[in-house]
Structure 1
């Protein structure tokens, strides 16, 4: 049995017409046509019940079994993933960042994991202490952060530069430009004066002698040793020698200074003097200081402390002092 079936528009409304010629002639005036469904009267989202569906076969329309058909305008809703939250526009990228940093030492068949997947971030202008028991990986971490020792795996980025993607020469130049170093032992050449020790890194990199001396004297002024510029290390106290070492670390104006136990060879009074100097330099120059220490008093004078245990960073306990530092840092922002 064949039928004439089609979609039509009646007064701007979509309708489906399916009727036989016999039924079209017998309908009453004004009555709905048999087989006609008005989609405007169907509740939104529901499929109309049509008397018949149709199938095309060899170009002709044939009747088929009764069923439900969804109107073309009704589509199943497709779930979408929520859009990711945008990052804060005012946030600056960290000066130093690590990703799953690992360091393994091998001796024959023996392996020792000094660093076990360390992730951390240090921002410009921070004063950060690294603390932990002996053998926990503090110095190894400092060496890997500064490019002195290659990690087994993971990445270290300084101002966005992947430190270990650089070749040896490039890394050496990058380190000489971007980093200063202060160690527990002062590492001053005994035959040179304080000014000569401070200017030596500049001379090695090709800075002219006169310019190097001017910069060395300015660095000594920053640490309060202008009057001791022409003295040799033997003529200086331990605290003064460490001040010279700090001046040497600052003479080329690096954004970051690594300090490994800078007060380890000093008495309590000189240790506090050195930390007061570091605090002042940090505030005046906005350089980042990363300090490895065993002394909780030294760590307490830093903005925050990175605590290590068994080659991993562990959460810092929340203390009233830490809360106060966090509130002060937030207020400055």
Structure 2
């Protein structure tokens, strides 16, 4: 039942290979439906053309299911929020075009949402977990982005550190592919690492200035090491899989934690959160808690279902934007593969 003070928003996410729609009433999720795309497993990574075609196939059923699960009709909606970018342009166009068309037909606002901001704002979904107070630091880690962000309010995001080349999620996926693990590789490395020795192998951590990250050198070092050892022993990867996964995972997470410690010291902020697909990594979560205990931080870790790309995070971002008098609701706003925060 909707009261006059309630705000109902449909959130649509289509930035990569997940088609997702969610319905939010104020800050409470009523439905969050996601359709994945198994076709990419055949290629060991996301194929943009196949992704956009799959979005076209999935978007109507996903939105319909979300509305049905939320027990509302389209006419009950106050606005539709959609991912404008960044992401794969073809995929973004499917979601944004659908959202703007639906909003225009219903006579309600279509609200463009920044994908990475939405990952951060997922912390504010009503999930009975503590909500970070402003300002807080957020380590956002995904397949395409690695950033440390100072969040001053729902509309003010300052990137104070980010990768100079590859993202941490890409380092996970490329390392997994090299080891012959199935796509997506990050969760496979996490699973294999649980029975491995994280100190068995040591890999190079590139030295960069400030709060920046760099993972390309680590990927190269890991590849060269594995290929060298495989030439000596054809079964090297199979015989050492758990230790290799644990060691590369430990190195990536250690790099993330080192920069986060520096950022907290520099800003004096002791409220620290993580977000993005890689925030579902179990080792990253445990290490964040361990570092927080050491430095006296208060940490905020989102529920697993709001870590990877999902419509709920777009819906909560849309909820905040709906209350912003300066929000952009122009139907001429176009999707963009690159969108600076």
Q: Output the TM-score relative to the length of structure 2.
A: 0.21
Q: Output the TM-score relative to the length of structure 1.
A: 0.22
Structure 1 or 2, whichever has the larger Rg, is 1
Q: Which of the two has greater helix per residue? A: 2
